[in-house]
Amino acid sequence: MIAAVVRAPAVTAEVFRDPPAPAPPFPAEAALVAGAVEGRRREFTVVRSCARAALARLGVAPAPLLPGPGGAPRWPAGIVGSMTHCRGYRGAAVARAAELRSIGCDAEPNGPLPRPGMLDMIALPGERAWVRALGLREPSVHWDRLLFSAKESVYKAWYPLTGRWLDFEEAVVTLDPRAGTFRAELLVPGPEVDGRELTGFDGRWTADRGLLLTAVVVAAAAAG
């Protein structure tokens, strides 16, 4: 699934079921989840196994993948990437920083938002309108959860470029239900990337296997 929304030059890896005996984490990683419940330790470990599998395809040796400022993972030098996990899914995408400047990806169950009233917290009025309209036309996709996922991917791509928080209401998302794409227009000043100010982010989405997956990729200027 992830290869449908994060394309070359990025490389990806994913699993839909945790292996019975996942590769053990590095000690520094294990220490971060030592007090967590087993499910949390497993998802933390397996998604990092996916990331290391993707990194291996770039010729990058295994190394601890620890959270940095804001919780974003600290990737090996010269690498950008993103990890995501939810019930029934773990996935990662990585690329060389010379080709891509940032990646953000997010996976969610194709189900309602987990809390009543959450749509009002994450969506602007125009976004709520299209979510409700699409829900009537195509109820097989939970558009409210897809909007949340798209905004999560936007944030994951934004943060490595800025080191700053981006509120849900600081970007307005327009989604194309046919093309499997979306556009997030920033309502605050965007980061400067390769001498250009980004005013928004373009992304892709897919729905399959009871899951929703979104991704944003920021290309280097030389890579188009």
Ranges of each domain in the chain: 2-99, 106-223
Provide CATH code, domain 2-99. 3.90.470.20
Contact 1, 14 (CB under 8 A): yes
Q: For the segment 164-211, what is each residue's pLDDT rounded down to a tens digit?
A: 999 999 999 999 999 999 999 999 999 999 999 999 999 999 999 999
DSSP-derived secondary structure for 114-145: SSTTHHHHH--HHHHHHHHHHHHH-TTS-HHH
Closest CA to 217 of 2, 3, 7, 1: 7
Contact 166, 159 (CB under 8 A): yes
pTM, two decimals, is 0.95
Are domains 2-99 and 106-223 of this chain identical in fold? yes
Q: For the segment 102-139, what is each residue's pLDDT rounded down to a tens digit?
A: 999 999 999 999 999 999 999 999 999 999 999 999 99
Indicate if the pLDDT at residue 224 is higher than 70.
no
Q: For the segment 18-53, what is each residue's pLDDT rounded down to a tens digit?
A: 998 888 999 999 999 999 999 999 999 999 999 999
Instruction: Give domain 106-223's CATH number out of 3.30.710.10, 3.90.470.20, 3.40.1190.20, 3.40.630.10.
Output: 3.90.470.20
Q: What is the pLDDT of residue 222?
A: 62
What H or E segment, with its residue span, contains residue 150? helix 143-162
Residues, the chain? 224
